[in-house]
Structure 1
């Protein structure tokens, strides 16, 4: 993204090319436009306390994977194979996780690698035929509704596994640990979230995320919600907020795109992401968990993490507990 200075330069050059001088008139500075869907301040509802449901434990994998293209009759996987494509809800703007590569025009990233591995387990040509996956771009707030409406087979979009969400959808076993942190403009005096709270500053996170709930709980902080994390990033660049807050795996990609920003602060939380799957499709959950089990066993998952997210260090160990 171009920073705000580029816009000012364009306006200056346009003024220099004016055909006639006009009388000087004082005008108030126009505020930079905000992305659509922004709420400032955001209305945040905290989920009610719940008994521990062991949110990090998914359903036990199948004992062995069926051969690609030969799914059990009547299974959710057989329906996907019959359709001819796997429909996955994901992001297209999460650099390093799931983003549109400008050099190829294709989606790439850590989560896209996982999607392709699952497609390869379903279809004989899942590795080579790009038409075997239909990616659908969704917002953070869309993740659960599109599953409940049956519009996608699964969601791979850094979705935290928690008890409230388990009541609405099912999850695969966890594939990615992340820590919620802050992204600020480089050179600012912000080192912790409490620095922002003391000044009554603003922090942006996406609507429907666990991140917005956590920042709203910090005294003095004004939570701002947006449809997309890149919308928060734009507001940070325009000086409309003090920080962006989400998982460090997402912030890493934003900071790589704009070296004028940096990740700061101690982790506000540590959260495990799983693949979201519609309730009633436990057979698909068990199938996906067997795919993930194989990726953990042969090192593919760790190698993908190192390739895309290695700047964060070595990946934390993933849990292997199941709920049945």
Structure 2
């Protein structure tokens, strides 16, 4: 197959860049559940981020969270200081993506942020307040996740957040609610594109978002496979770099790359064996153990009620196929 001309890629990149500008305008104009989605500046990275996070499941306890509460208590009976502060504020502040298609992205027609992660964030608000609209969606980059949780500027992250041992040193997680894995998105005219691996893209420029475990692993493997890592603030930024000829491939979770492929018909998500397993959890401040236990009970109810599957069918089934069983939670962290 003939590789599409660079000029075509540039033209398509112009469309994505324009779309990003429209998304920014929409975020400024729209509100979600009575709260305007808030874009925040990127804080200085933590020491862990500067060193790069290890790949997911790099230890035996990465997916182990705290025991869930026996049941979800009535709001007026909760005495935990951290969760009490959220309840008294009248909303939960959740860090989300606005450009991760299918998981958290802005609907260009309505301006609302929607997707698989957003459904779960709204369910948490529904259980806390009896109203799924009592959520303040704070638009953040992947690199924002740790420092904003640590500073207390957000209460929770629902942004395809891989659980790793390194991250447990800095924050806490709910139980795993989705299982993904790192792979590659490449041009459809690349030889054997559907089976692309780090080895088959040897010598090429591969993009991953700043502050992600995908970028950390890419850098670890760069010398072995003669790869040239490039980064961008987010996956959409990587797609723009790809379309402008500044990157030859993108690496990230298969779920995220599926969203990019849906936006660019000249790309393919590799079906080769996943580079890593990426378990997603909801991130919270390290001290918010009670909130993590609350979330674990809420997630268990979300899954058993069928709402997890309903959300999957709404957002992911067309791209990723029939819904799998939700991940089996691991509890017992002390």
Q: TM-score, normalization: structure 1? A: 0.81
The residue that corresponds to 1:318 in the other structure is 327
Please list every run of 5 or more consecutive structure 2 residues that lacks an aligned counterpart in the other structure. Answer: 1-7, 15-49
1:165 and 1:138 mapped to 2: Cα distance? 17
Aligned residue runs from structure 1 range 147-226, under 5 A: 147-189=149-191, 190=193, 191-197=196-202, 200-216=203-219, 217=221, 218-226=224-232
The residue that corresponds to 2:21 in the other structure is none
Q: Which has the larger radius of gyration?
A: 1
Residues 250-259 or 109-118, more deviating = 250-259
2:120 and 2:247 mapped to 1: Cα distance? 34
2:97 and 2:58 mapped to 1: Cα distance? 31
The residue that corresponds to 1:26 in the other structure is none
The residue that corresponds to 1:236 in the other structure is 242
Q: In the superposition, relative to structure 1, how do residues 52 and 247 fare at CA in structure 2: closer, same or farther (>3 Å)?
A: closer
1:134: Cα distance to partner?
Answer: 1.0
1:71: Cα distance to partner?
Answer: 4.5
**Is the 8 Å Cα contact of residues 77 and 122 (structure 1) preserved in structure 2?**
no
1:3 and 1:123 mapped to 2: Cα distance? 47
2:303 and 2:326 mapped to 1: Cα distance? 10
Aligned residues: 282
Aligned residue runs from structure 1 range 246-265, under 5 A: 246-264=252-270, 265=272
2:163 and 2:54 mapped to 1: Cα distance? 14
Q: TM-score, normalization: structure 2? A: 0.79
Give a deviation string over 1:36-94, Cα, whole Å, max 9, x none: xxxxxxx975659x993511111111111123x42413442221121111101111000
The residue that corresponds to 2:146 in the other structure is 144
Give a deviation string over 1:169-209, Cα, whole Å, max 9, x none: 00000111111111112222243221211xx1110001111
* Match for residue 115 of structure 2 among 85, 103, 109: 109
SS of the residue aligned with 1:58?
Answer: coil
Please list every run of 5 or more consecutive structure 1 residues that lacks an aligned counterpart in the other structure. Answer: 9-42
